[in-house]
Amino acid sequence: MAGRAARLVLLAGVAAVASGSQGDREPVYRDCVLQCEERNCSGGALKHFRSRQPIYMSLAGWTCPDDCKYECMWVTVGLYLQEGHKVPQFHGKWPFSRFLFFQEPASAVASFLNGLASLVMLCRYRTSVPASSPMYHTCVAFAWLSGR
């Protein structure tokens, strides 16, 4: 019984540590997101949000709650800097300014180039290795799945 209780306490401690980044736990951030979502993400306000949202943002999957989190992140960062504190992380990432629909453009470019390199290597593999080779289909399937 004591072992079970110890595991439960350990699991609760791990869950508390994994609850989020410093910025996520900030009451100012949480209140801002809650108020923003209540104000902008339902009823007529949601229709207004969607009407003024650029098409590329909606195609990229940015939602009203996502936009609230982004805007409130910068409100919180501003308060931190105003008080002389370091910029906190949000959702495990450092804040980056959004460019078009990319919040982390360098990461997006690196991911694109990585996918492109995987595609080029898959094409080279398929042209140089006969399909009758052992493990050919396994390698192609793995390359296809890992490149995604």
Which residues, including other chains, have CB under 8 Å from residue 40's CB and lie 6 or more apart? 46, 48, 49, 64, 67, 68
The pair of structure tokens assigned to 43 is 């009823």
> Which among 38, 27, 119 has a CA at the least distance from the CA of 75?
27
List per-residue pLDDT tens for the chain, 148 residues long. 566 655 655 555 554 455 577 778 888 899 999 999 888 888 888 887 887 877 877 777 788 888 888 889 889 989 888 888 888 888 887 777 666 666 666 777 788 888 888 888 888 877 887 888 788 888 777 776 665 5
**In terms of domains, do 84 and 27 share one?**
yes
Find the domain containing 62 and state its range.
Answer: 20-102
The total number of structural domains in the chain stands at 2
The residue type at 84: G
The residue type at 35: Q
**In terms of domains, do 96 and 111 share one?**
no
> Tell me, what's the pLDDT at 32?
92
**In terms of domains, do 88 and 120 share one?**
no
**Position 3 in a domain:** no
Calculate ∠ Cα 87-93-97, nearest 5°. 70
> Tell me, what's the pLDDT at 11?
56
**Burial of residue 12 (number of CB atoms within 10 Å: 0-12, 13-18, 19+):** exposed
pTM, to two decimals: 0.57
**In terms of domains, do 92 and 29 share one?**
yes
